[in-house]
Amino acid sequence: MTPESFQLLDNYHKGQLNEEEVSQFHKKMEQDAEFKKEAESYLILMNTLKQYGNRQGIKEILTEAHNEMQTEVSAPKVVSLRSGTSRKYVWMTATAASIAFVSIVGTLLTTRSLDNRQKANYKELRRNVEQIQRSQKQIMEDLAESKSEPMIPGKYSGTGFLISSNGYIATSYHVVKESDSVSIENETYGRLKAKVIFSDAPNDISILKITTSSFKMKRKLPFMISSKEAELGEYVYTLGFPREDIVFGEGSVSASSGFRQAVNAYQVSVPVNPGNSGGPLLNSSGDLIGIVSGVQTETAGAAFAIKSSQLLDIANHEAIDSLSTPLIFPKQNTIKNLNRIQQIKKWKDLVFMVRVYKEN
């Protein structure tokens, strides 16, 4: 990692980038696979070091170790360990090696399975589907519009919801990140094929596009995506698929920041379970204010949702702007004067179970 990359990641982690710099950071993440890998590893590393109180001074240690090692490597020689310079070199080398080891551990942490993550105090809410009632043949008959390679059911499912009447779905990135193929389904539309067309890993958001040709919306979406911060104590509710049929939950905004004070999320007192990830968090008007993402396992009733403003920011991304079929967010709320039951009836048609599949 270069000093420039280190500085950029450190500023991003501390929230010291302006809106334009954050946008450029996300663009670099999408375009540079190596940088994305370094960034994800670094963010995990910083959280780990913060937990153990070792974050202070890491930048200076890395930079000094890098410079010292560059100097020594350019002129290899045998030195006495009694020399002050050599002792410093040995110390710096050991420090760099230790940090490299911790970085490797950080990288491994980013690729651990959900089972290992559940041991931590933050738990993602995709659902582990150990038993699928339909056979592989039946699943393929439902999914395939034409012949394709055999597939097996994946282990995970979550929730997604329509954000554009022309077939775009929002869900959590961690739900679909391991997918080779995705389907969505609900009572109104049945089972539909979909594909991942964009992912924002730092904000845990992915956008899917329905590819089943028969899908058509007969009306505009009846809600808006809020760009405003929700108020502390504001009433909220959610719809999701922690089971095979849709489930309603309600509560309030309990903190204006998320897990470990993340500014891109809310903490909410809504009962959620595995399978709720990717579901909509709605206010009393039926507008979208967040996307359910996880829970704090050590605190009962503490759930988290990515703020809807992060979803709105995606519209400005080059990859979204260049889509052949434009993603058009809803612009008018037609359900704000309805009671809760009537709002839920309107929203129920727009929320889907997201099933993840992997090839043989």
Q: Are 176 and 354 in contact (CB under 8 A)?
A: yes
For residue 135, the model assigns a pLDDT of: 40
CB 288 within 8 A of CB 306: no
Q: % helix / strand / coil in the chain, to the nearest 5?
A: 35, 25, 40
Predicted pLDDT at 168: 97
pLDDT of 88: 45
Rounded distance between C-alpha atoms, residue 56 and residue 152, angstroms:
47
Domain ranges (residues) in the chain: 3-111, 124-360
Where would I find the beta strands (DSSP E) of 68-189?
122-124, 127-128, 151-164, 168-171, 181-186
Mean pLDDT, 10 residues at a time, the chain of 360 residues: 75 71 76 77 65 50 58 45 43 50 48 44 59 43 46 70 96 91 94 95 96 91 96 97 93 93 94 92 98 78 91 90 91 96 97 86
DSSP-based three-state secondary structure for 86: helix
d(CA 304, CA 43) in angstroms, rounded, equals 19
Q: Would you mind telling me the total number of residues written for the chain in this entry? A: 360
pLDDT of res. 5: 76
Class (C level, CATH) for 124-360? mainly beta
Q: What is the pTM of this model?
A: 0.61
Name the residue with tokens 């056979």. Answer: 135
pLDDT at 348: 96
| CA 318 to chain centroid | 19
Q: What is the pLDDT of residue 158?
A: 93
pLDDT value, residue 297 = 67
Can you give the pLDDT at residue 234?
97
- Number of neighbours of residue 245 by Cβ within 10 angstroms: 9
